[in-house]
Amino acid sequence: MRTFPTKHKFVEVTTPWGYNETVYADRTKNLAELLANTAAKYGDLEGIISTDLRLTYKQFASLIDHVSSGLYHKYGIRKGDRVALMLKNGWEFCVSFFALVKLGAIAVPLNTAYKGEEAAFQLNDSGSMMLILDPEFRDIINEIRPEIGEVRNICVTDTEEFQELLKEKEYTAVNVQVEEMDSAVIMYTSGTTGRPKGAVLSHKGLIAETICVAELLDWRAGRDKHLCPVPLFHVTGLVMNFCGSVYAGIPLVFMKRFNAADALKIIEEEKITTMIGVPTIMWLMLNVPEFDHCNLRSFRCFAAGGSAAPEELLKACREKLPGFELCPGYGLTEACGMTSTTISLDEALSHKGSVGRAIPLIEAKVVDSSERELPLGEAGELLMRGCQALKEYWNNPEATKDDC
């Protein structure tokens, strides 16, 4: 049985809070540098594939330069400013997100299912000064416009205003100093304990997670192609699927909305090798009536999380997809995604119900109500720490004190 694969070296650094944590020695300082590395190595390879546009990594990086310049000079977006994104999966989200983090601004992805009060709360709580949205959400935002007074500019992707952002500018180049502990994104949790809380994730945390994911799935530029079946406003979509693929330099194919039959068609036509999502997605695909007639020889691995992977699913993968790997794991928004995982279908089958071991850089233990570590097999509270952990809950010092 293989252990978690890694070719990276680790070093210890001292955090701004005075304690030491382990990080990758060869990490980039920020997400803009991560993309620049990929564009330099794999610029002529396909990167972002949407239903209406296919971009090489060089073209993707060029669009990001144009949009970041427009956001800086026309809209006055500066380091630390929050800009909300109400966008479905596609190149528009990808370009907008990287343009923002290149400026040192903080992206605030909004759940596209939210309406009224839910959307207004996250816009107001985050203090977002701008909103970029798809046209189908225009009416939702118009209804709450009087309630979101801090949002100075709203840019809709079907307007000339957004098209102007995509064009090359004559402005001077924008080079913002972005450090690894700077905030990159505020991702709101589901709010199971009350109002959603905004988890503030750093460049360092996101980059560490992308490296772990790329190694788990053994992504290789020029060989692999990834299909993202989950929304980019979720940490699994944004960090593991999207940023992870960019780090690895592999093509990333987007679905606006998941449909099992459509996914199988894309896997066959695009020769998809990997996916990351909830186990239900894999179960739905296995049960499409046309499944046995699909050519899925390229499809080699699915990393699963968000809910338990039942034994029936594991056995079905073994039976219907010889040589295929299903790797159940566990993660959370507050830790940039995956925090533990199995590394093969064999391991998942031999440890039924397990979500595997902690990934590199994550320390974990199970404790009782007095935070005393419990022996193997006893139930308790799971504590984790590592460089992927959130910096704070936005605008919520009480929750930060309790949970961080």
Q: What gap in Å lies between CA 96 and CA 232, rounded to an integer?
A: 12
Rounded distance, CA 211 to CA 248, Å? Answer: 8
Q: What is the DSSP letter of 241?
A: I
Helix axes 260-270, 279-286, angle to 10 degrees: 80
Instruction: Please check the confidence at residue 283 and state whether its pLDDT lies above 70.
Output: yes
Size of the chain in residues: 404
Longest dimension (CA), the chain: 63
Which letter does DSSP use for residue 3 in this model? P
Question: CA-CA-CA-CA torsion for 141, 147, 150, 156, nearest 10 degrees?
Answer: 10
| Identity at 106, one-letter amino acid code | I
Distance of CA 353 to CAs 239, 350, 375, Å? Answer: 25, 9, 18
pLDDT at position 233 is 97
Name the pLDDT band for 1 (thresholds 50, 70, 90). Answer: very low
Residue range 207-217: mean pLDDT, rounded: 96
Element (H, E) at 268: helix 260-270
CB-side neighbour CA atoms (13 Å) of 363: 8
β-sheet bridge partners, residue 85? 109, 132
Q: What is the tens place of the pLDDT at every residue in 384-399? A: 999 999 999 999 999 8
Per-residue pLDDT, 192: 60
Tell me the two tokens of residue 253.
């194919």
Q: Is 8 exposed, middle or buried (0-12, 13-18, 19+ CB in 10 A)?
A: middle
pLDDT beyond 90 at 138? yes
Query: What are the tens digits of pLDDT across the range 218-273?
Result: 999 999 999 999 999 999 999 999 999 999 999 999 998 999 999 999 999 999 99
Comparing 402 with 167, which gets the higher pLDDT? 167
Angle at 102 between CA 37 and CA 54, to 5 degrees: 65
Check if the beta carbon of residue 229 is closer than 8 Å to that of residue 18. Answer: no
pLDDT at residue 146, rounded to an integer: 95
Domains of the chain: 30-403 (3.40.50.12780)
Mean pLDDT of all residues belonging to the chain: 94
**Residue 81 — very low, low, confident or very high, per pLDDT cuts 50/70/90?**
very high
Residue by residue, DSSP assigns 358-401 as EPTT-EEEEE-TT-PBPPTT---EEEEESTTS-SEETT-HHHHH
Mean pLDDT of 376-384: 90
This prediction has a pTM of 0.95
Please, are residues 208 and 387 in contact by the beta-carbon 8 Å criterion?
Answer: yes
**What is the average pLDDT across 269-287?**
98
For residues 6 and 297, what is the distance between their CA atoms, to the nearest angstrom?
26
pLDDT in tens, 289-335: 999 999 999 999 999 999 989 999 999 999 999 999 999 999 999 99
Spatial separation of the C-alpha atoms in residues 356 and 84, rounded to whole Å: 35
pLDDT at 3: 62
- Residue 7: count other Cβ atoms within 10 Å of its Cβ: 6
Q: Average pLDDT for residues 140-167, to the nearest whole number?
A: 96
Distance CA 200, CA 127 (A): 13
2-57, pLDDT tens digit by residue?
567 788 999 998 887 778 888 999 999 999 999 999 999 999 999 999 999 999 99
Mean pLDDT of 158-172: 90
Give phi and psi for 259, each to the nearest 5.
-140, 130
Sign of the torsion formed by the C-alpha atoms of 52, 34, 63 and 103: positive
